[in-house]
Chains A and B, each alone.
Chain A
Amino acid sequence: MGVRIERIDLPGFGVRNDVITGSGCRVSVVSLRSGERDLAFFNADDPDSNAASISLTDDEASAIAEVLGSSLTLSRLSALGEKAEGLFNEEISLPNGSDFVGHPMGDMKARTLTSASIVAIVRGNDVVASPGPEVIFETGDVIVAVGTRQGLDALGKLINNGPS
């Protein structure tokens, strides 16, 4: 993953980190000493100026980082499964307020009911790999499962509808 990141000092303010994407776009993250972050995108007309600059608080910045970061882990995981034919994998978010939250994974009886296997749980920036039946679900968990198309569809229903 050879992503080019340039670091530029902004004396008195903090630092600016530029990420140049493969398509030639520049995304700048200005990290201010106060902890705030400015996210800036380059302007095609005028390469030195930014087209938009968004001020983010510390929390907002880490939320965006999390969203960007977790989708990255997921896409990496899904790239693995495409090699075996007939076997699919899917990421299914546990709905907010799901009845499974707070209960061990074993209670879901996912494999028994749907024949799909839960291979990982993505929790924020962490991944619980090959979770055992004792792992307790938390709000915001994303379940990564492997199985046949029908099995995964059934698992999706089970997760979304809750225990019957």
Chain B
Amino acid sequence: MHETTQLLIEVGALLLVLSMLGRVAARFGFSAIPLYLLAGLAVGEGGLLPLQASEEFFEVGSQIGVILLLAMLGLEYSADELMSNLKTSRISGILDGVFNALPGALFAILLGWEPAAVVALAGVTWVSSSGVIAKVVRDLGRLGNRETPVILSILVMEDLAMAFYLPVLSALVIGAGLMQGAITVAIAVAVVVTILYIALRHGRVLSRLLPQKNAEALLLGVVGLTMLVAGLAEAVNVSAAVGAFLVGIAISGPVAHQSAQLITPLRDLFAAVFFVFFGISTSPADIIPVLLPAFALAVLTIGTKAFSGYMAAKRAGIAVPGRWRTGLALTPRGEFSIVIAGLAVGAGIEPLLAPLATAYVLMTIIAGPLLARVPDTAWFKAKVRKTASAPPTTPVATR
């Protein structure tokens, strides 16, 4: 069979399978990401049905997927939202980082991993999945809840932190000497600060350059600009993902709104390809030995995430039930953890990281949305009321 024919058949068949998996996930009300990862595992090296011709397609597609995923994330936030969040939720963001990055880092040190892998695993356990959590909050009808802004602002802080974390990680995984590594990190951070400054201050100029009226031209313009900046960012070791995120933030106003609508279907397609490719590049045989460590890590960091979320809600003056809703809603890890692991694995550090991250994300992303529902159950409410009535709780009114 001709190479291209084979490719079409493989890609087509796989996308159809993903479509069915997506329906199953929607039917039961959970994220499709774990199913995409499993599908990738099944068709990867050592899987049930290894792909023959389309692996390269999925590799390129997965890179586009990361770029679009991050660009969309940036598009969803306005510069004002970022700045006001930075003011009001700094402390909660820092607590969230300390309590969730450190367990990952310590875990990696225990496993005896090299420094770059330690930093990578810290990132994997730190960042919650914005996509999954936004969907869970929406599905559970909690958009009107008072704790929801707390949840969202933590997600914003994490995403903003990633703009600095990812370039540092990419500099580290290149594995230059200490001095050279420090210089690379410094350059990367300087570039991010500069782009962020331009994006926040002069985003309007950029938005004006894009043709708002013509949907086709706007789509091409936004995707083109995003890929170009992502590529240039990669060239100076800032990581393509961060470049794309910054472009998303820089585009503002009605252009951002329209671009988001145009890109969403494209993002859905390539993001699915990205998760599949991550599964493809991980060998299922490697997952079994890391299942236990992954489970331990998941239990530990679901606990720390619930705690840091609880504290953030407490700081915002939310009552006890709302604090639990905040903490438990934040537990799923997803797209960012996979992006981080993908970045580290792509550079060839710590072969165990990819299977560990896959198993870890699978566990938290399945357990998280279930845990998020727990505060709505009758027994949980009864329990909270019982403990709350014993010592009177005074909500702290800090904002």
**A10 and B141: CB pair below 8 A?**
no
- Choice from B81, B144, B318 contacting A50 with Cβ under 8 Å: B144
Binary flags per residue of B142-179, CB closer than 8 Å to A gives 1, else 0: 11111111001101100000000000000000000000
> With an 8 A cutoff between CB atoms, is A2 at the interface?
no
User: Is B321 in contact with A12, judged by CB distance below 8 angstroms?
Assistant: no
A92-109 toward B: CB 8 Å interface, digit per residue (1/0)? Answer: 000000000000000000
Interface of chain A, helix or strand or loop or mixed?
strand
Q: In the bound complex, do residue B143 and residue A9 qualify as a contact, i.e. CB atoms below 8 Å apart? A: no
Q: How many residues of B contact A (CB 8 A)?
A: 29
Separation in Å of the A19 CB from the closest CB of chain B?
Answer: 12
Q: Are A49 and B134 in contact (CB under 8 A)?
A: no
Query: Are B148 and A10 touching (Cβ within 8 A)?
Result: yes
Q: Which residue of A lies closest to B141 (CB)?
A: A53
List residues of chain B with CB within 8 A of the CB of A39.
144
User: A48-B145, A48-B318 are known contacts; what are 6 more A-B pairs with Cβ within 8 Å?
Assistant: A11-B76, A12-B130, A13-B143, A40-B143, A40-B145, A52-B141
Chain B residues near A89 (CB-CB < 8 A): none
A20-55, CB under 8 A of B: which get 1 and which 0? 000000001010110000111100011111101100
The answer on a CB contact under 8 Å between B77 and A11 is yes
Alpha-carbon distance between A32 and B138 when the two chains are bound, in angstroms: 11
Beta-carbon contact of B325 and A49 below 8 Å: yes
Q: How far is the CB of A143 from chain B (nearest CB, A)?
A: 37
Cβ of B81: which chain A residues have Cβ within 8 Å of it?
9, 11
18 residue pairs of the A-B complex, CB under 8 angstroms, read A9-B84, A11-B153, A11-B155, A11-B156, A12-B77, A13-B138, A16-B143, A28-B144, A33-B260, A45-B381, A46-B319, A47-B319, A48-B318, A48-B325, A49-B325, A50-B142, A50-B144, A53-B143
Q: Is B85 an interface residue (CB 8 A)?
A: yes
Task: Contact check, A48 vs B84: say whether CB atoms are below 8 A apart.
Answer: no
Let me know if B144 and A40 touch, CB within 8 A: yes
Contacts of B23 in A (CB 8 A): none
Which residues in B have their C-beta under 8 angstroms from that of A30?
143-144
B322 lies within 8 A of chain A by Cβ: yes
Q: How far apart are the CA atoms of A48 and B321 in the complex, in Å?
A: 8
Find out whether the CB atom of B155 lies under 8 angstroms from the CB atom of A12: yes
Indicate if the CB atoms of A38 and B319 lie closer than 8 Å: no
Tell me whether A38 and B318 are in contact in the complex, defined as CB-CB below 8 angstroms, given that A9-B81, A9-B84 are known contacts: no
Look across to chain B and name the residue whose beta carbon is closest to the beta carbon of A41: B144
Alpha-carbon distance A46/B322, docked complex (angstroms) = 8
A-B pairs, top 4 by smallest CB distance, nearest first, are A40-B144, A48-B322, A53-B141, A48-B146
Q: A118 to B381: give the CA distance in the assembly, Å.
A: 57
Q: Does B208 contact A (CB under 8 A)?
A: no
Rounded to whole angstroms, the CA-CA distance of A16 and B325 in the bound complex is 19
